[in-house]
């Protein structure tokens, strides 16, 4: 029986003595969720890189994987680069499957099917999105005596995780997260950057929801 769940929540985290706030929102929709975790099966998390104007950052992909294994080390998350090398060239940007309907066709390739079986791959999670810098304000002047002034700028992070089940050859969930924050740089002789951890908040938000899907502990 399919299960449907949609959650939306907002978190504001402040860091340092001068607050650099991050607001994060997560939407989740999952169905056919594992009831007792994924056992000895594995999961791989891949970043989408089909667009010409951005790529899903490899460090964000690694962050989500690290978040999952740090809270449940029984979950085997295959390293992205290891997986891409093992399945070359089927998951390169121009050849990677775009839709769940492509799974059956992909598994008809014997080298792919054999490698998936050897890896015990149960779920493939696509991460799509990026973190971008928004407009800033303020000014700063520097001389031999140091720097003086104040600057501020923002970052917006928007990511979507799509969960594919390789056994059922179907999409079984989506998690969307967005985070925004304002960073500051006051300068009295020495500039002191106070960075809002926007990408980290997005990583935690999406990682927590994926844990609820994959782990028997949540």
What's the pLDDT at 17?
44
In the block, tokens 């340092």 appear at 16
211 has a pLDDT exceeding 90: yes
Per the domain annotation, does 41 fall within a domain? yes
Q: What pairs with residue 44 in β-bridges?
A: 78, 124
Per the domain annotation, does 106 fall within a domain? yes
52-98 pLDDT tens trace: 666 899 999 999 999 999 999 999 999 999 999 999 999 988 888 98
Task: Work out the percent of the chain whose per-residue pLDDT is above 70.
Answer: 89
Residue 19 — very low, low, confident or very high, per pLDDT cuts 50/70/90? low
Q: What pairs with residue 138 in β-bridges?
A: 151
Per the domain annotation, does 179 fall within a domain? yes
- In 10 A of CB 146, how many CB atoms? 12
pTM for the model: 0.85
94-133 pLDDT tens trace: 888 988 888 888 889 999 999 999 999 999 999 999 999 8
Domain region containing 167: 8-214
Per the domain annotation, does 2 fall within a domain? no
Per the domain annotation, does 3 fall within a domain? no
> Number of folded domains in the chain?
1
Torsion angle defined by CA atoms of residues 100, 73, 158 and 200, in that order, rounded to the nearest 10 degrees = -170
Per the domain annotation, does 20 fall within a domain? yes
Per the domain annotation, does 190 fall within a domain? yes
């Amino acid at each position: 029986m399919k299960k449907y769940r949609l959650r939306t929540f907002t978190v504001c985290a402040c860091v340092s003595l001068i607050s650099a706030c991050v607001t994060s929102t997560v939407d989740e929709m999952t169905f056919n969720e594992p009831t007792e975790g994924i056992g000895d099966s594995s999961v791989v998390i891949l970043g989408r890189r089909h667009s010409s104007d951005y790529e899903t950052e490899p460090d964000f992909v690694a962050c989500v994987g690290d978040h999952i294994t740090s809270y449940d080390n029984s979950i085997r998350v295959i390293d992205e680069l290891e997986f891409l090398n093992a399945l070359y060239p089927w998951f390169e940007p121009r050849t990677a499957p775009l839709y769940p309907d492509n799974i059956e066709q992909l598994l008809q390739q014997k080298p792919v099917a054999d490698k998936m079986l050897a890896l015990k791959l149960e779920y493939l999670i696509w991460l799509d999105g990026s973190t971008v810098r928004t407009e800033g304000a303020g000014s700063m002047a520097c001389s031999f005596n140091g720097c003086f002034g104040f600057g501020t700028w923002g970052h917006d992070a928007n990511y979507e995780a799509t969960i594919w089940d390789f056994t059922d050859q179907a999409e079984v969930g989506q998690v969307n997260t967005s985070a925004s924050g304002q960073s500051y740089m006051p300068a009295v002789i020495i500039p002191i950057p106070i960075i809002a951890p926007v990408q980290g908040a997005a990583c935690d938000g999406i990682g927590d929801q994926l844990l609820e899907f994959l782990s028997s502990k949540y």
